[in-house]
Structure 1
Amino acid sequence: MPGSILNRRLFLLGCTALAGCQTLPPSSAGQVRREEWGRMPDGDPVYRFTLTNRRGSSAAVMTYGAAVTSLHMPDRAGRHGEVVLGLDDFEAYRTRSRNFGTLVGRYAGRIANGRFPLDGRMVQLETGSSRHSSHGGPVGFAKRNWQGEAADNKAGPAVRFSLISADGDQGFPGTLSIQVTYCLTDDDRLALTIEATTSAPTVLNPTHHGYFNLGYDHSRPVHDHLLRVEADGFTAFGPDKLVTGEIRPVAGTALDFRVPKPIGRDIGSSEEQMRIGNGYDHCFVIRGRSGDLRQAARVLEPQSGRVLELWTTEPGVQFFTANSVDMPGRNGVPYRPHCGFCLEPQHFQDSPNRPEFPSTLLRPGQTFRSHSEYRFSTYAV
């Protein structure tokens, strides 16, 4: 929209040589650049915002799926490089993405049989061709084109996406108004704040579904990445990958990351939980009080020296190792199983049917708020 004003508080916009591209002049808050990146089938434009901080690190986030499409962070020598898996263009994301970098919702993970009780009635969700509801239904948040605008944030360049999910959307009750703000801070934190309100009682469990690989070659598995998880227990699942309601201790299992170990050490374990998932796809119960910002996980990649810490207010983090990914990725790089890992801050799967789990119920007059930070640094040899 050349010549228009976007976010009057922050922007002094002008047209650049690239049609449809708008740039914030450099400042202490870094830079935000907006460009049209594609069109939805109905003609609705898809925009991509590139955030660049004062250190030269950058994050690209598009309105479709509120998805992080690129994230460049320095290695131990100060060289910036890609640390997330992704695809080359919008059409690839629309037609064959595996939720690369998306904002998943309304409900991350599975809800058994697509049903749950709410205030004395049974809610039936859309499940598509599946038996269970997964990641918010066949047309969840990851497949929507959100509204985006640059946001004013003193910590660094930021962008805010908003979406209205109508009452009955994918079967979920209540008109939901949701916003997610991404901020790339000057100390290399990618911070996500999610807020939502509803017109009627509903359940809500959104999460960020980014795939990370901190190494130089994204065709290689992440087996040598060293992972520590601040968790003593995990939500066990049965043969159909539905949680049973049991929180099992990690001690003595392949899921014990209380002390850092290579992701690949036990990924081929014959333990039942690992065989069912064909790798890691488990929710860890993070120590500390839900609602408090605390460290959930730390990952170190030996060759590049990059370190990633996840801090979150959520009670759990889903650790997933791209077990079934097998496709060409960005720049034609072959993505194979275990080529990346996800650390998805969230509540537990199937919580609406599990009263023993922390509640995901949201009522009118309440505001859902979740805050997570992916903090990047390096270590010396």
Structure 2
Amino acid sequence: MLQEEELKHQTMRKWIIQKGKSPRVELLNLGARVQRIWAKDRNGVEENILLSYAGPEQYERDNIFLGAVVGPVAGRIPEGRMTAADVEHPLTTNEGRHHLHGGDGGFGNVYWEADAGEDDQQAWVRFSIHRTDGTDGYPGNVKASVTYIVEAGGDFTVEYDGESDTDTWFSPTQHMYINLSGNNKRPVTEQHAEIHASEVLELDRELIPTGKLFSTAGTPFELNGDKPLGEHINSFHEQVRDVAGGIDHFFILEEGKEPQASVWDESSGRQLDIITSAPGAVVYTSNNGPEQDFEAGPKEKHRGICIETQQLPVDFAHLGKPTAYLSAKNHFQSSTTLRMNTR
């Protein structure tokens, strides 16, 4: 199924895609957003497993990147200083003195072009955007696309592509707030998560990586699914305390493990497995409450978990894994698949 809807709005449009056993996915062209994912629980009850707003105007006022693609670089760039081809480029700062999720003109805040299609096995929507050299301070004329694909077998995949005519930084991600209770009935503190990662990037009190790694073993960051997220968050560990009581950290994913991450809700039986080509993921437990009401459930902290698959920060190039640095000679490609199950 591929359906396009006209909204009562001048520029915002919606697409609904579903195929075979896949979840039903609703998409918006503002920020190339995933608005809703409908998935069944163990009893066959279908509910939305994302935090969502009800109307277009709320998405235009959104300040938590709800369901948006963020970039060109996901995360924080300290003091908005970016070096490419040995030239430092001052970026706009939109979180105090730092640059966050691509700045005010970042991917999540603009309208994307879209084309859609389907065949016997898949349905898809491809969002694309061109950014001119100097937008928010980034060097390079950049072409980027994000393709959402649902497959008859059940998978939902996000594919990222990008290229630039000069060296730049590029590492987008999807900022879905997942809540497998369905329709935001319960906080994610009651749900479980497993992340195959033995090391995490240490943060300072401004949520900037210090350059150090620490082991997850024996810490609240050892997410092995053995206890609810609330027991990890309810900790006096300084790294939990310094991010407003929760997790907002970059996990370096272990190679050879698949799925790299899983989230499940024991009450509903829903489980979401995440398979990605990215070397890492920021896990964020929505540690700050939103300014606007959600479509369902209360607007309080810890109502969703984001698993933001992405490249490593450039400062960690010495680890020998892909970073956000994109040479003009290279084409960027990355993919993340969400696979729904029940247990």
Partner of 2:246: 279
Q: Tell me the distance in 2 between the aligned counterparts of 1:371 and 1:129.
A: 28
Partner of 1:321: 285
Structure 1 residue matching 2:261: 3-state secondary structure: strand
Q: What stretches of structure 2 of length at least 5 have no aligned partner?
A: none
Partners of 1:192 and 1:372 within 8 A in 2: yes
The structure 1 residue matched to 2:137, chosen from 159, 171, 181, is: 171
Q: Tell me the distance in 2 between the aligned counterparts of 1:154 and 1:105.
A: 32
**Paired residue type of 1:317:** A
Partners of 1:149 and 1:160 within 8 A in 2: yes
Structure 1 residue matching 2:260: 3-state secondary structure: strand
The yes-or-no answer on 1:360 pairing with 2:324 is yes
The yes-or-no answer on 1:236 pairing with 2:198 is no
1:347-372 alpha-carbon deviations (Å, 9 max, x no partner): 23xx2344435432212231100000
Q: Tell me the distance in 2 between the aligned counterparts of 1:219 and 1:296.
A: 26
The yes-or-no answer on 1:295 pairing with 2:295 is no
Q: Tell me the distance in 1 between the aligned counterparts of 2:121 and 2:227.
A: 33
**254-263 vs 76-85, which deviates more?**
254-263
The yes-or-no answer on 1:32 pairing with 2:2 is yes
Q: CA deviation at 1:237?
A: 0.7
The yes-or-no answer on 1:342 pairing with 2:302 is no
Distance of aligned partners of 1:107 and 1:273 in 2 relative to their CA distance in 1, 3 Å threshold: same
Q: CA deviation at 1:104?
A: 0.4
TM-score for both structures, normalised by structure 1: 0.85
Within 5 Å, give how 1:211-290 maps onto structure 2: 211-216=177-182, 218-277=184-243, 278-288=245-255
Q: Tell me the distance in 1 between the aligned counterparts of 2:252 and 2:119.
A: 31
Q: CA deviation at 1:138?
A: 1.5
Partners of 2:146 and 2:159 within 8 A in 1: yes
1:118-154 alpha-carbon deviations (Å, 9 max, x no partner): 2222111111462011101122100010001113466
**Paired residue type of 2:6:** E
State, as a whole percentage, how many aligned pairs show the same letter: 27
Partners of 1:158 and 1:183 within 8 A in 2: yes
Distance of aligned partners of 1:315 and 1:38 in 2 relative to their CA distance in 1, 3 Å threshold: farther
Q: Tell me the distance in 2 between the aligned counterparts of 1:129 and 1:208.
A: 19
Q: Tell me the distance in 2 between the aligned counterparts of 1:56 and 1:370.
A: 21
Q: Tell me the distance in 1 between the aligned counterparts of 2:32 and 2:119.
A: 18
Q: Which has the larger radius of gyration?
A: 1
Q: CA deviation at 1:217?
A: 5.2
Within 5 Å, give how 1:1-381 maps onto structure 2: 31-39=1-9, 43=10, 45-55=11-21, 57-128=23-94, 130-152=96-118, 155-216=121-182, 218-277=184-243, 278-288=245-255, 294-331=258-295, 333-348=297-312, 351-357=313-319, 358=321, 359-379=323-343
**Paired residue type of 2:252:** V
**Paired residue type of 1:251:** A
1:249-307 alpha-carbon deviations (Å, 9 max, x no partner): 10111101135321111202111100011201111110017xxx942211110111000
Distance of aligned partners of 1:153 and 1:312 in 2 relative to their CA distance in 1, 3 Å threshold: farther
Partners of 2:154 and 2:340 within 8 A in 1: yes
**Count of paired positions:** 340
Distance of aligned partners of 1:251 and 1:365 in 2 relative to their CA distance in 1, 3 Å threshold: same
Structure 1 residue matching 2:214: 3-state secondary structure: strand
Distance of aligned partners of 1:159 and 1:239 in 2 relative to their CA distance in 1, 3 Å threshold: same
Partners of 2:20 and 2:154 within 8 A in 1: no
Q: CA deviation at 1:81?
A: 0.9
Structure 1 residue matching 2:242: 3-state secondary structure: helix
